[in-house]
Amino acid sequence: MVRVSQGSSKKVVGVLALQGAFESHKKVLNELDVVSLEVRTPQDLPQVDALIMPGGESTTMSQLLESSDLYEPIKKLIHEGMPVFGTCAGMILLAKKIIDGRDDQISFGAIEIEVQRNAYGRQVDSFEADVEVEGLVPAFHAVFIRAPKILQAGKDVEVLASFGSDVVLARQKNVLVASFHPELSQDGRIHELFVKEI
Ligand code: GLN
């Protein structure tokens, strides 16, 4: 299959569109003048240069990744260095270890973090906070919704933002993760950070 984006100057950012908040990510990318594509089948993958995994429900997304036959090809592309950005449930999907996951829940194991699902409390306990992000002034107004908490991070994980003592934005090589929802803040700066890596 031909990578249609190759050779053209415009990079295409795929947004995993199996479930969850993919529309909001597309909106931010559109505002940044970045071309996006909803990824639902393995046939969509050759057309993208990078992939965003949105927030939503990681258990459901895990099941849909398997039933859509997307899990293996995405895993291979991440291993080959495709930039990937997971937000909230998307971060859970990329983590090495999940605490309080469902027994059959799978993840890509692409970043050396241990995450605990829903660790900040239930839906009513969702909250917003200004977080200092490496290289960004002023602080980023972050929206946390049934957010996962990073309990541990490996030595190769770069911390880009913390909230209190918790790491909330981190990177390891081509993998960027946020425990909050940067697509809901009317602020494209974190998406810009990601797009710059492509
Ligand atoms: N709690 C959800 C999960 O475990 C993630 C929440 C979100 O993405 N807003 O998948």
* Nearest-CA residue for atom 5 of ligand 1: 89
User: What pLDDT sits at residue 121?
Assistant: 74
197 part of the active site = no
Distance CA 61, CA 125 (A): 23
24 within domain boundaries: yes
User: What pLDDT sits at residue 2?
Assistant: 45
Dihedral of CA atoms 117, 119, 124, 128 in degrees, nearest 10, equals -100
Ligand 1 centroid–CA 184 distance in Å is 14
Ligand 1 centroid–CA 134 distance in Å is 24
User: What pLDDT sits at residue 127?
Assistant: 93
User: What pLDDT sits at residue 8?
Assistant: 53
> Is pTM, for the whole model, over 0.85?
yes
169 within domain boundaries: yes
65 within domain boundaries: yes
User: What pLDDT sits at residue 122?
Assistant: 66
For the segment 133-150, the average pLDDT, to the nearest whole number, is 96
Asked if pLDDT for residue 72 goes beyond 90, the answer is yes
Which listed residue (88, 128, 141, 197) is catalytic?
A: 88
For the segment 82-89, the average pLDDT, to the nearest whole number, is 98
Ligand 1 centroid–CA 183 distance in Å is 14
CB 140 within 8 A of CB 131: yes
Asked if pLDDT for residue 105 goes beyond 80, the answer is yes
Domain of 28 in residue numbering reads as 8-195
146 within domain boundaries: yes
1 within domain boundaries: no
- Enumerate the β-bridge partners of residue 52: 15, 85
pLDDT tens for 30-46 read 999 999 999 999 999 99
Which listed residue (158, 181, 191, 197) is catalytic?
A: 181
Domain count, the chain: 1
For the segment 21-25, the average pLDDT, to the nearest whole number, is 97
For the segment 81-98, the average pLDDT, to the nearest whole number, is 98
How many C-beta atoms surround the C-beta of residue 27 within 10 A?
Answer: 15
Burial of 166 (0-12, 13-18, 19+ CB in 10 A): middle
Signed CA dihedral, 21, 24, 29, 32: sign only: negative
pLDDT tens for 159-188 read 999 999 999 999 999 999 999 999 999 999
2 within domain boundaries: no
Asked if pLDDT for residue 156 goes beyond 80, the answer is yes
- CATH number of the domain where residue 79 is located: 3.40.50.880
190 within domain boundaries: yes
Asked if pLDDT for residue 1 goes beyond 50, the answer is no
3 within domain boundaries: no
Q: List phi, psi (to 5°) of 193.
A: -55, -45
